[in-house]
Homo-oligomer: A and B are copies of this chain.
Amino acid sequence: MGLEVEISGLKLNNPTVLASGILGVSRKMIERVIDNGAGAVTIKSISYEGREGHNNPTVISMENGLMNAVGYSNPGAEESSKEFSGLNDMKAPVIASVIGQETGDFVKVVKALEKCGFSALEVPLSCPHTPGFGTLAGQDTPEKTGEITKAVCSATDLPVFVKLSPNTKNIGEVAMAAERAGASGITAVNTMGPGMVINIEARKPVLAFGVGGISGPALKPVAVRCVYDVYESVRIPVIGTGGVTNGRDAIEMIMAGASCVGIGSAVYYRGIDVFRKICAEMEEWMKKNGYKNIEEMVGAAHG
């Protein structure tokens, strides 16, 4: 029995992938995540110019999920290309996350990160809380998604994963637009909402930006449905992301149609070694239920 997966040419020891925006801010940190069992890691999203992001509070933990409005803080493409260099040495594939406001911005970042040794690119068109980006900029329509995906795919030889929003009405259509434009895979999904938490004693929303994207357990059922829909719509593989916290969640996501699973908020719930823990739980369940590999479970809930 094995947990290995291959997705768009990337070979992973196991199907757990660190989601973008969680921990992935430095080479040392992603090394540490890999040491803790991640099958692949995604770095925090990089824009061409550096960004300070929104003011604190930027991340809070609710009873059933996290809510964040970090606002894409990042040191910009130049700085990042220095931080993440020589990634070929890493013990697992490293995926760059590339953001921009205009289509050309994405291409500029791709070029700036060209020599780092990333194994793939992820293009989130789905952030719900950063003006100028993602859903707030309409990047989640099939048209815009097609346009940006095409531009990124022309600028690189690496596999390109397009990251979709659970808030988009017809996620299947957006996935199809990405596939047509050359995407190698889909990451589904980014955070949900946005939502808002008000502190009633303070009479104010808690996040400085007012609203934020929801991740963690509260997102899981919506993410599973999105992955299910995407799987029905396209033939390229899916990184199923959203609320995966334990081995059962991972298998649920895989049966919905994911080839591997993104893991973000679970780092908060179960610590940085959550990757190792989830793999152990998956193995145990697979043994008990007679599964030999990941592949035979992918999409098993369909039909």
Output the least CB separation between A13 and chain B (Å): 22
Distance, CA A63 to CA B245, complexed state (A): 13
CB–CB A225/B201 < 8 A = no
List residues 80-121 of chain A with CB under 8 A from any CB of chain B: none
CB closest chain-B residue, reference A193: B222
Q: Which residues of B lie under 8 Å from residue A155 when comparing CB positions?
A: none
CB–CB A255/B301 < 8 A = no
Number of identical protomers = 2
Output the least CB separation between A222 and chain B (Å): 5
Asked whether A197 and B222 contact (CB < 8 A) given A169-B167, A204-B301, the answer is no
CB–CB A218/B301 < 8 A = no
Output the least CB separation between A295 and chain B (Å): 15
CB–CB A221/B197 < 8 A = yes
Q: A199-232 CB contact bits vs B (8 Å, 1 = yes)?
A: 0110111000011001001101110110010000
Distance, CA A15 to CA B168, complexed state (A): 33
Output the least CB separation between A162 and chain B (Å): 19
CB–CB B167/A196 < 8 A = no
Among A167, A201, A203, residue most surrounded by chain B Cβ atoms (within 10 Å): A203
Q: Is A195 an interface residue (CB 8 A)?
A: yes
CB–CB B203/A255 < 8 A = yes
Output the least CB separation between A149 and chain B (Å): 21
A198 in complex: contacting residue of B135, B201, B256, CB < 8 Å: B256
Q: Is A67 an interface residue (CB 8 A)?
A: yes
CB–CB B214/A222 < 8 A = yes
Output the least CB separation between A184 and chain B (Å): 25
Output the least CB separation between A241 and chain B (Å): 15
Among A192, A195, A252, residue most surrounded by chain B Cβ atoms (within 10 Å): A195
CB–CB A221/B196 < 8 A = yes
CB–CB B248/A200 < 8 A = yes
CB–CB A194/B225 < 8 A = yes
Q: Is A62 an interface residue (CB 8 A)?
A: yes
Distance, CA A62 to CA B285, complexed state (A): 21
Output the least CB separation between A249 and chain B (Å): 9
Q: Which residues of B lie under 8 Å from residue A201 when comparing CB positions?
A: 289
Q: Is A64 an interface residue (CB 8 A)?
A: yes
CB–CB B255/A198 < 8 A = yes
CB–CB A221/B195 < 8 A = yes
Q: Is A10 an interface residue (CB 8 A)?
A: no
CB closest chain-B residue, reference A300: B203
Q: Is A260 an interface residue (CB 8 A)?
A: no
Could you list 5 A-B pairs, sorted by A, with CB under 8 Å?
Answer: A64-B218, A195-B222, A196-B221, A198-B224, A198-B301
* 10 extra interface residue pairs, beta carbon distance < 8 Å, beyond A195-B220, A195-B221: A63-B64, A63-B217, A167-B167, A192-B222, A193-B222, A195-B222, A195-B224, A196-B225, A197-B224, A200-B285
